[in-house]
Structure 1
Amino acid sequence: MVLEMESMATAIGVSVPVLRFLLCFVATIPVSFAWRFMPGPAAKHLYAAASGAFLSYLSFGATSNLLFIFPMTFGYTSMLLLRRYAGIFTFFAGFAYLVSCHVYYMSGDAWKDGGIDATGALMVLILKVISCAINYSDGLLNDESLTESQKKNRLVHRPTAIEYIGYCLCCGSHFAGPVYEMKEYLEWTEGEGIWSSPKGKSSPSPYRAMFRAIVQAAICMGIYLYLVPHFPLTRFNEPAYNQWGFWKRLFYQYMSGFTARWKYYFIWSISEASIIISGLGFSGWSDSFPPISLWHRAKNVDIFGVELATSAVQLPLVWNIQVSTWLRHYVV
């Protein structure tokens, strides 16, 4: 098995730890699909939590779940004991913990050495923990003092522990996002809100949207594998690079960045497929006739929007979309 992993990793030009992560990441699609068959909300919460923890263990090792315990515990404890200030405490404690973990693990060096750590997943998880605590604090406020997004996402009642853990680790969605709200997770699990199906009407089918996301992921990976041998980032450290003329270096800088972006497009496309097949990616119906199901909740990147952007101002709207939305709601 180890030899097979090594040969597969060599074939696509990555290390064994990165290959293990990619395999677990792709596995979030069938894992999320299986969520649909869990009998009842309690089983769904338990499955979401257990599957997420297991995938983390396979991807990053046992220490990854230990890494996640502190922010999850701090966030839930603050909601238990200090509801009014839970959002503030969790915000500062969560980001302080995230920064300290990035410094301690030196994520950039891990990638350079062919390794991988859980700090990327930790970032997504901390954003979810913070938003949950803030929304629970907002549950104490009057409507007049809340924005529309606060009214939409606030939590009047504290989630149970299993609901909270399921939300944080749901089927491996913390690997690369997208970030979503606790209220959305609860309504999705319990079949309420936009996920409630009137009698005699079936739920929207996710298969077409999921297939589109998988095809997009395959194309992105194909482009990346084709380009990366020609424009590796390691060439910047080679003496020959410094001997090139200005225009050749500028061209190489652009192409190496262009090449690297397709790796992220692949990751986010797989994540989108996973969230869509679970049903959580559903975002409502179009205004057309007949109405078409929309799946924008899972979308984390607009590839053409990024590549054809005419200004840096446009990039937050098309790159890492859900995190940008989170920042607009909770920071700006």
Structure 2
Amino acid sequence: MAGGLIASLAQNIGLTEPALKLVLGILAGYPFALIYRKFLYNKDGVFQCLYFTACGLTLGFWNYGIGMFHCLATILFSYLAITFLKGPLMVSVVFIFNFIYLLTGYVYSSTDSYDITWTMPFCVLVLRLIGVAFDVYDGTRPKEQLSSDALQSALKEKPTLLQVLGHSLFPSACLVGPQFSMRRFLDFINGKFHLKTSDGNILPPDSTQYALIRFGMGLFYIIVFQILSLFVHEDLIISNEYAEMNFIKRMFLLGVWGRFILYKYISCWLLTEGACILFGLSYNGEENGFKKWNGVSNIKLSIFENSSQFNHYIMSFNANTNHWVAQHIYKRLKFLGNKYYSQGGVLLFLAVWHGLHSGYYATFLHEFIVIYVERDFQHMIKPYESVTQFLNNSVVKILCQIILRLYAFVFMGWSLLPFVYLQYSRYLAAFANCSYAGVFVFYLWPILYGPILRIFLRKEKKLA
């Protein structure tokens, strides 16, 4: 009966049943947080972990049924590996086992489109378990060998099974993230984020206002997403209707379509962050006498909405996952001796983590090329004082900002085409419908635009 009600409601509001159940699961984090604040805050860590585990399993089984047993199996295996193995062997076993399990899941459960199945929470879980293995290993290494991030998250003692379960199945973060370290989780349940009154009493965190703000922003982005759906839809770019439009309209709608796709993720992250804030997990110290609650923020809206280059998107979008990858993958690839090799390794890791569809690999290859182009251009013009002075002119600066905002707006949409359409034939059709705009802007840079600009700048320097 409940299933029929959910299916009927999903149909009426234009969502699939799995998508609606996912949204309701995310929203369930708020009542779970209120119950926690009322009855379990500052109680023994064992009871807290039991509560988090029970809530997370409830959400998981409601959304994915017996698929959640895959998550439980990998949690147990990873805990045993962390407990009985040591050093690089322990990290390697946890890393390889979880990735093989994830890829096997993709092979057996993936379709030709984006799937809401048990592999969705599982891919979040994989990073969380690998992160715990790295942190336990870092806790055994000399401090001088660790990065600043690793110093903050390193674990001197191995976590218990109940702590691993509570961390892995934290109810407001087990479905779509965000990522957070075991160190943060342990500090949270052990009372390091407690609000203490002047008379020594311990109160739940004064985070309700901040949680409501993020909740409200999440609802706002859901509303904007629904409004945009009146003008664009996921298959718009591969439609005949789109192909017949004039070039300017196609480019504008490509940017709108890109925002439509991204706002779906942003709204979910804002809602999960609000629930994490309500729990008190996101406490991030104080600044100028004010508490900060941005410890698990996954989207930096001011940077995202004002992006004028693709690095701004990378800095602001899926921030916790990017931080996790920077700490646990990028910084550990320093032995390669080349930042481009390290970046390539990171992007390959992310592509494999997302799945086996060729669109993921095309997306992250494109990201590598775009970042290379933008950095190469910036490094190229930096030594030329005349160019810098020209670009710093107030009128020129305003014009450049307008052009760069339009550039980032339109070509973020282009960059998402393989990620959304996944299949080679579908995103190639999308490229064709967009007149291969991204190919001309980015892929010709190393063989055409870059060499021409270098020749021009050398001539300008000689004339000066």
On whether the aligned pair clears a TM of 0.5, the verdict is yes
Taking the aligned partners of 2:183 and 2:3, their CA distance within structure 1 comes to 42
Q: Aligned pair 1:24/2:25, yes or no?
A: yes
1:106 corresponds to:
110
Task: Rate the CA distance shift 1:40–1:299 in 2: closer, same or farther, 3 A.
Answer: same
2:315 corresponds to:
317
Q: Aligned pair 1:70/2:58, yes or no?
A: no
1:327 corresponds to:
325
1:255 corresponds to:
256
Taking the aligned partners of 2:114 and 2:295, their CA distance within structure 1 comes to 31
Deviation readout 1:196-238 (Å, 9 max, x if unpaired): 7476365540111011011101111111111112100122343
> Structure 1 regions of 5+ residues with no counterpart?
none
2:141 corresponds to:
141
2:296 to 277, 295, 298: 298
Deviation readout 1:72-100 (Å, 9 max, x if unpaired): 12321211221212223222332333233
Shift of 1:256: 1.0
Query: 1:33, 1:278 within 8 Å by CA — same for their partners in 2?
Result: yes
Secondary structure at the counterpart of residue 206 of structure 2: coil
1:49 corresponds to:
53
TM-score normalised according to structure 2 size:
0.66
Q: Which amino acid aligns with 1:58?
A: W
Q: Which amino acid aligns with 1:95?
A: F
Taking the aligned partners of 1:72 and 1:26, their CA distance within structure 2 comes to 24
> Structure 2 regions of 5+ residues with no counterpart?
331-464
Secondary structure at the counterpart of residue 159 of structure 2: coil
TM-score normalised according to structure 1 size:
0.91
1:157 corresponds to:
157
Q: Aligned pair 1:222/2:223, yes or no?
A: yes
Taking the aligned partners of 1:274 and 1:188, their CA distance within structure 2 comes to 15
Q: Which amino acid aligns with 2:79?
A: Y
Taking the aligned partners of 1:118 and 1:134, their CA distance within structure 2 comes to 24
1:83 to 77, 86, 103: 86
Single out whichever of 90-99 and 13-22 deviates more from structure 2: 90-99
Query: 1:224, 1:262 within 8 Å by CA — same for their partners in 2?
Result: yes
Q: Which amino acid aligns with 1:179?
A: Q
Deviation readout 1:32-85 (Å, 9 max, x if unpaired): 23223223211101011111011101111122x212133312321211221212
Deviation readout 1:109-152 (Å, 9 max, x if unpaired): 354xxxx2122211111111011111111222122222222222
Shift of 1:158: 1.2
Taking the aligned partners of 1:278 and 1:108, their CA distance within structure 2 comes to 37
Shift of 1:11: 2.7
Deviation readout 1:227-277 (Å, 9 max, x if unpaired): 112100122343222222322222222111111222112101111111000
Deviation readout 1:299-324 (Å, 9 max, x if unpaired): 11022311321111222220001101
Task: Rate the CA distance shift 1:3–1:305 in 2: closer, same or farther, 3 A.
Answer: same
Q: Which amino acid aligns with 1:74?
A: F
Secondary structure at the counterpart of residue 51 of structure 2: helix
2:180 corresponds to:
180
Q: Which amino acid aligns with 2:239?
A: E
* Larger RCO, structure (CA 8 Å, separation 6 or more): 1
Shift of 1:2: 4.3
Task: Rate the CA distance shift 1:181–1:2 in 2: closer, same or farther, 3 A.
Answer: closer
1:96 corresponds to:
100
Secondary structure at the counterpart of residue 170 of structure 1: coil
Taking the aligned partners of 1:107 and 1:83, their CA distance within structure 2 comes to 38
Task: Rate the CA distance shift 1:309–1:126 in 2: closer, same or farther, 3 A.
Answer: same
Correspondence list, 1:118-137, <5 A? 118-137=118-137
Taking the aligned partners of 1:316 and 1:90, their CA distance within structure 2 comes to 27
1:200 corresponds to:
199
Which structure has the bigger radius of gyration? 2
Query: 1:12, 1:225 within 8 Å by CA — same for their partners in 2?
Result: no
Taking the aligned partners of 2:47 and 2:34, their CA distance within structure 1 comes to 14
